[in-house]
Structure 1
Amino acid sequence: MGVCASLNSTIKTKGDDEKTDVESGDIGEIKEGDNEDTVSAGSNERSDIDDIYVTVAIDIGTSYSGYSFCFKDAWMGFKATTEPEEKVPTVLLLNPDETLNSFGHDAITTFNEMDEVNRRECFYITNFKLCLYRVSKLSFQTTLKAGNKHINAMHVFSLAIKHFMTMACDTIFNHSDEQSQVSDINEENVDWILTVPSIWTDSAREFMLESAKKAGIMPEKLRIVLASEAAAIYFRENELLEMVPESEEETGTTGFKYIMADIGGGVVDVCVHEVLGDQRIRELYMSTGGDIGSSAINSAYLIFLESLVGREIWTEFRTLHRKSYLDIINNYEQVKRTFSMTNDESLRLLLNKELAQTFSRKTGKRLKTVVSANFTDDSVRLSEDEEKLFINQSLMELFFCPAVDDILGKINKVLVECNDPDLSTLVLSGGFAESPYLQERLQNNLQIETMLVVKNACSAVLQGALLLSDLPPDFIQRRSRFTYGFDVTVPYIADEHPESLKFSDEGSDWCNGVYDKVIEKNQLLEYGQIFIRKRTGQALDPEKKHQERYASLWRSTNENPRFCLANEEVQEVGVIVMTPPPEGWPDQWEAENRLIVGEIGFTVKRVDKNTGQEYETTMTFLQ
């Protein structure tokens, strides 16, 4: 069963009705390699590598997106990775009927050339990736705002994925005939990889799986990889060995510890790894981060410009002079990329005469005169022709500080809580990682010995994703982001169990909704690991012998939740429905609940020890 297909398993929501003595819920743990053939929902099951000729990695970023591909046994034809400018802005323009008009630079140009009527009818969509981080309860019906309209978010993501699928296939199938394999390649010979931030919730990851399926990627052809891990693999394969002293060549990189921070336009992803003896990776600290990327700096600058002229004037300028508005943004982006703490002169930025003219027409005043009066210290001034804006170093830093301070805080917290003297290397990837100002602030304010930016920082995730395609799913040991457990029923204890969960049955008092913890938050997990809870019960009532039974899996942000109640911050994420055999359940029954660790998720399995019947489901997080 492929990963997307398995997420479509029928789910019913009802509490577990089985009764179990507390002592009977002993946990068992089966390590990888035991006799178990269940495929996890998160295993990203793929077709046989011998049948795959090409792998394509797609990275839908907040600010920029791209794809890369490689042929089996040969690195070649990287697209949108060798040079950062080859990536395209993550901008979609949809027609009124919600079909794709254009993407990237083409979308920007087409929209700018439209008249106001056509602009209002179309959907111009930017920064949509942040939706999957900021929306707490994602569903198939989640919408995005585009101007004054709303559109289904999964539809938008699927169009973006489909766009890069088409571009990749066009490039691959038209590739140089000098490659002997190319002539035999068709779409069935293509495997796909999607990158996602490691700090995304399970529902956001599932959302991407469903979007990819909607875009036309077969479940068995898809693998989801975490961006920070892809960047870490790229770093390991390209630069880590160069850091090993000659005196340690025999042991290589074993035991090397580092912080990897993937810092892009929207999301910052921070993780901590240790290289193991077999070149696998162990996560030392649960991944952290937030929506504190460089796009926040752009937003701060645009808010500043709006404050200079007023909201009404700024809105009119942005609407009627789209090209000039975008010229201002693009110019600021270029200045931002080279800004450094060592700048000792005012920064020159494009303003465009249309903004000054709109201001003069609306207020009867020159914008230059108003700015000079408001900034007597010359921290902000205009050129005589009002087409250039000059701001000083301190003001520019104010635009950077909120995002950079947050990034510093995240990394410093990791250092403090890890409290490991061997953790002294910080590795940066992502577009914003190339910012001189960010690098200087990190270097000056963190207690680290070594900080480096990976080569081709903008493309490290894409190229690392391709490297990951050749690694087995167990290449990394991860920390659980939640506490997982089963909903069980136990004998009621008056001083211990809530009255609201008490019920009586067959002459005894029971407590329903007890949280039977299986995996604790921050616990180290390995792919293929199986956790077992044994269950026993009885079915003496003739009516109950033919009733369905349920086993439900829950997760919590708390380390030790006691009950499946809202105040315990719990959420039901998977339910197994068990049908009775024709003769009904036996008087005394025995079963096992199994929680199986996959590559990016879990599979829940129920084994009826009386009949040998096996039931399986996967966790579902979309509403």
Structure 2
Amino acid sequence: MPSKTLMVAAFDFGTTYSGYAFSFRDDQTKIQTNHNWYASGGSSLLVSLKTSTSVLLNPKGEFHSFGFDAENKYASLAIDDEHKGWRLFRRFKMVLHINEHLTKHITVEDFCGKQMEAFPLFVMSIKYLREHLLEEVTRQTRGINETDILYVLTVPAIWDDNAKRFMRDAAVAAKIDPKRLKLALEPECASIWCETLDKDVKGALTTAGSRYMVVDLGGGTADISVHERKSDGTLKEIHKASGGPWGGIFVDKNYMKMLDQLYGKEALIDLRKTEMSDYFDITREFELKKRTFGTDEPEKFVIRLSVSLLDIANKHSEKSLEERIAALDIQKNAITPRGKDKLKIDETLVQSWFKGPIDLLIQHINSLLSGQKRKRMHTVILVGGFSESPYVQQRLRKELHGARVIIPADAGLAVLKGAVMFGHNPSIVSSRIMKYTYGTEVLRSFDENKHQAEQKIWMQGKWKVDNCFDVFVRVNEEVRVDQQVTRECTPNSEISLTHIYRTTKQNPEYTTDPGCELLGTVQLENSTDIPFREQVIETTFMFGDTELRIKMKNTTTGKRAFMTFRCFQ
């Protein structure tokens, strides 16, 4: 961290909601968030310390607004049928998780199903959050320049290197100085924040040797890390990050699927086109109900819809709502209309919307708890927006065998606030577990005891074998945050080109083996004025940080080069 940093600002760019927080160096624990984001949800008010992850573009393709403002503007335009050419994008972050072969040109759909490259949307979103933050800081204090700020951008620990690089490049394109930008892993941030809470929580986390699991349940994913507290107070990761697409948006999808069955897909499409504000009210109303489900009596789960939805549905079908309900494969009286704009829904049916993602989450956590890392680990910290659901809390407390489940206050802000603290003290995490085996592609001397005859090639007067995997670090290996591995070689041409590979295998032999993936390349220019045999090249892997860094250096000329990820070549 630059020595003159006076403030740390963190951005939590989420699947459903995004926000920021900050604190000053002289009062690090006084973490501030924005309190001015809110949106209507039917008859209620959705108050949030984060805003919707939505971007609105004008007909020229230029950025117009972000968050609830973007959704509200788009809805108001639609009322007067003036939204033609405007484009609204929502919940596009999941594209970075579901794409195995991520590139900078990956596309997402807007509200009407039209494609656009995702990268500019990430840039616009981060730029908006940054500018909003700077305006808030300017209102509060004087004497802070933008160059005094260290920015922290949170990312899921289960993301791979390409997705992290995508986010870093988007932040840099949003005018954030790369020298003052650090990525933070979301479960680690949550763990750091929990240290500041009440004595009961703090006691379970801060004792030397204590082990615990952090489950970050967001809108899109469940992100899980296992930590151990070392005697010097730092955190040690003892199991590689894991998780899956088990976030709150999958409950939303199940709810919307039911509405499709009740009112018809055509009616929902028409509602989005003609009564867009009503459509957003429906989704926000459900968000409010989802956050409280599990606390009310079963008969009190009544969802408010819009009168216009039923009117539109009746235009598309001659069947009444009662007839459409009767046609569903559900128990009798599971859904009961209350007038034209409300539905009373049985508790069991609501639970079924949660069942898929929560079942997978519980199964995964229990498998981690029953493994070798289970020793001395009896605590599960539950954070993230989806973790605030009382139903989710009840399920996990009931079905996680022998584990104590802790849900800190403001669990939805734990990652964001912890990211600020991480920015002030990145050394709080001392080691991490490698998710992959990393190495380079090299030539090796042919050995008839190891290699097949058909593998040998004649090069430089000797029999060689190409496509060999030279391992620098192995999967599940513990590495310090400052750990480096360096290998030396002599160049044989003007350009040294090193290919970087990764795999989940412990002992890969060749880069052509199944599961081996080209991650990127490093290209270094050598001197033609000095004999190649007199030049030395160092290839260094820098492990343990939140991002993998690889550099090559010609120690004779002093020239350096860093890895270019394949997805951005």
Task: Compute the displacement of 1:421 (Å).
Answer: 3.3
Mapped partners of 2:471, 2:31: distance in 1: 48
Aligned to 1:618: 563
Query: Is the aligned partner of 1:137 residue 2:101?
Result: yes
After TM superposition, the structure 1 = structure 2 runs for residues 478-493 of structure 1, keeping only pairs within 5 Å, are 478-493=432-447
Structure 2 counterpart of 1:225, from 184, 204, 219: 184
Out of 501, 525, 546, which is 1:554 matched to?
A: 501
1:278 is aligned, of 232, 236, 239, to: 232
C-alpha displacement of 1:559: 1.6
Q: Distance in 2 between matches of 1:226 and 1:81?
A: 24
What is the CA deviation profile of residues 172-212 of structure 1, one whole-angstrom value per residue up to 9, with x for unaligned ones?
A: 1111xxxxxx3212222222111111111111111111111
- Given residue 479 of structure 2, which amino acid in structure 1 is its aligned partner? L
How big is the shift at 1:69?
Answer: 1.3
The equivalent residue for 2:305 is: 351
Return the letter of the residue paired with 1:111: Y
* Residues 379/530 of structure 1: CA separation in 2 closer, same or farther (3 Å cut): same
The one-letter code sitting in structure 2 at the alignment partner of 1:324 is D
2:64 alignment partner, one of 73, 77, 101: 101
Cα–Cα, structure 1 residues 421 and 596, in superposed 2: closer, same or farther, change >3 Å? closer
Return the alpha-carbon distance in structure 1 between the equivalents of residues 552 and 76 of structure 2: 59
Q: Find out whether 1:564 has 2:523 as its counterpart.
A: no
Q: 1:166 to 1:582 in 2, by over 3 A?
A: same
Cα contact 1:331–1:349 (8 A) shared by 2: yes
CA distance in 2, matches of 1:495, 1:205: 41
Give the drift of 1:439. Answer: 0.9
Q: Is the 8 A contact 2:437 2:506 kept in 1?
A: yes
Pick closer, same or farther for the CA change 1:186–1:593 going to 2, 3 Å: closer
8 Å contact kept, 2:494–2:528 = no
SS in 1 for 2:500: strand
Greater Cα offset, 404-413 or 564-573: 564-573
Which residue of the partner structure matches residue 293 of structure 2?
A: 339
1:547 and 1:417 mapped to 2: Cα distance? 51
Does the CA-based 8 Å contact 1:562-1:568 persist in structure 2?
no
Aligned equivalent of 2:153: 194
Secondary structure at the aligned position of 1:138 is classed as coil
**SS of residue in 1 equivalent to 2:8:** strand
Q: Note if 1:68 corresponds to 2:21.
A: yes
Q: TM-score, normalised by structure 2?
A: 0.91
- Residues 362, 612 of structure 1: CA spacing in aligned structure 2 closer, same or farther, 3 A cutoff? closer
Offset at residue 507 of structure 1 (A): 3.7
**Structure 2 vs 1, CA of residues 441 and 509 (structure 1 numbering), >3 Å: closer, same or farther?**
same
Deviation (angstroms), 1:341: 8.0
Shift, 1:526, TM fit: 0.9
Does the CA contact (< 8 Å) of 1:474 and 1:599 recur in 2?
no
> For 1:457-490, what per-residue CA distance to the aligned partner results, in whole angstroms no more than 9, with x for missing partners?
1111111111111214463310111101122211
Aligned to 2:44: none
Distance 1:371 1:486, change over 3 A: closer
2:485 partner letter: F
1:123 Cα deviation after fit: 1.3
> For structure 1, which segment, 421-430 or 81-90, has the greater mean C-alpha deviation from structure 2 after superposition?
81-90
Higher Cα Rg, which structure: 1
Count of aligned residue pairs for this structure pair: 555
Percent identity of paired positions between Structure 1 and Structure 2? 25
In 2, Cα distance between the equivalents of 1:252 and 1:391?
44
- 1:118 offset after TM fit, Å? 3.7
Distance, in Å, in 2 between the alignment partners of 1:169 and 1:244 is 36
Offset of residue 105 of structure 1: 1.6
Q: 1:111 to 1:591 in 2, by over 3 A?
A: closer
Alpha-carbon distance in 1 for matches of 2:456, 2:84:
57
After TM superposition, give the deviation of residue 576 of structure 1 in Å.
Answer: 4.1
**Equivalent residue for 2:408, pick from 454, 466, 478:** 454
Q: Secondary structure at the match of 1:224?
A: strand
Q: Is the 8 A contact 1:82 1:459 kept in 2?
A: no
Aligned partners of 2:402 and 2:331: how far apart in 1?
Answer: 41
Secondary structure of 1:129's aligned partner: coil
Per the alignment, residue 161 of structure 1 pairs with 126
Q: 1:608 to 1:79 in 2, by over 3 A?
A: closer
The CA deviation at 1:76 is 4.4
| Cα deviation, residue 615, structure 1 | 3.9
Equivalent residue letter for 2:521: G
SS across alignment from 2:431: strand
SS of 1:237's partner is coil
Tell me whether 1:298 sits opposite 2:252 in the alignment. Answer: yes
Q: What amino acid is aligned across from residue 92 of structure 2 in structure 1?
A: F
Residue number among 48, 53, 56 corresponding to 2:6 in the alignment: 53
SS in 1 for 2:48: helix
The question of whether the paired residues in 2 share the 8 Å contact of 1:473 and 1:599 is answered with no
Deviation track 1:486-530 (CA, whole Å, cap 9, x = no partner) reads 222112234633566531024421101111112001110112212
* Cα deviation, residue 96, structure 1: 1.9
CA distance 1:174–1:408, shift in 2 (3 Å): same
1:172 has 2:126 as partner: no
Q: 2:122 corresponds to which letter in structure 1? A: F
- Which residue pairs with 2:529 in the alignment? 582
Deviation for aligned residue 1:534: 4.7
Change (3 A) 1:501 1:97: farther
- In the TM superposition, what is the alpha-carbon distance from 1:235 to its structure 2 partner? 0.7
Q: Are the structure 2 counterparts of residues 515 and 103 from structure 1 closer, same or farther at C-alpha, using a change threshold of 3 Å? A: same
Change (3 A) 1:604 1:67: closer
Secondary structure, in 3 states, of the residue corresponding to 1:114?
A: helix
Q: Which residue is 1:381 aligned to? A: 336
Q: How much does 1:77 deviate?
A: 6.5
1:29-67 deviation per Cα after TM superposition (whole angstroms, max 9, x unaligned) = xxxxxxxxxxxxxxxxx321xx22222111111111111
SS of 2:14's equivalent in the other structure is: coil
Find the residue that maps to 2:435 and give its secondary structure. Answer: coil
Deviates further, 565-574 or 228-237: 565-574
How far off its partner does 1:581 sit?
4.7
- The code of the aligned residue for 1:198 comes to A
Offset at 1:82? 11
Query: In 2, are the aligned partners of 1:157 and 1:211 still within 8 Å (CA)?
Result: yes
- Equivalent residue in structure 1 for 2:474, among 510, 513, 520: 520
More deviation, 341-350/426-435:
341-350
How far 1:252 sits from its partner (Å)? 6.0
After TM superposition, the structure 1 = structure 2 runs for residues 472-551 of structure 1, keeping only pairs within 5 Å, are: 472-473=426-427, 475-494=429-448, 496-497=450-451, 501-535=455-489, 547-551=494-498
- Code of the aligned partner of 1:63: T
**Aligned counterpart, 2:84:** 120
CA distance 1:344–1:583, change in 2 (3 Å): closer
Report the Cα distance in structure 2 between the residues aligned to 1:366 and 1:317, rounded to whole angstroms. Answer: 18
Change (3 A) 1:150 1:433: same
2:360 aligns to what SS in structure 1? Answer: helix
Spell out, residue by residue over 1:245-299, the C-alpha distance to the aligned partner (whole angstroms, 9 max, x if none).
9xxxxx9610011000011111211000000011111111101112210111011
| Cα distance in 1 between the residues matched to 2:31 and 2:519 | 45
Q: Could you say which residue in structure 1 is the equivalent of 2:74?
A: 111
The equivalences for 1:388-407 within 5 A come to 388-407=342-361
Contact kept? 1:82, 1:456, Cα under 8 Å: no
1-structure distance, mates of 2:460, 2:55: 62
Q: How many angstroms does 1:580 deviate by? A: 4.1
1:66 maps to amino acid: G
Distance 1:619 1:151 in 2: 24
* CA–CA separation in structure 1 for the residues paired with 2:274 and 2:453: 64
Paired residues of 2:527 and 2:557 also in contact (CA < 8 A): no
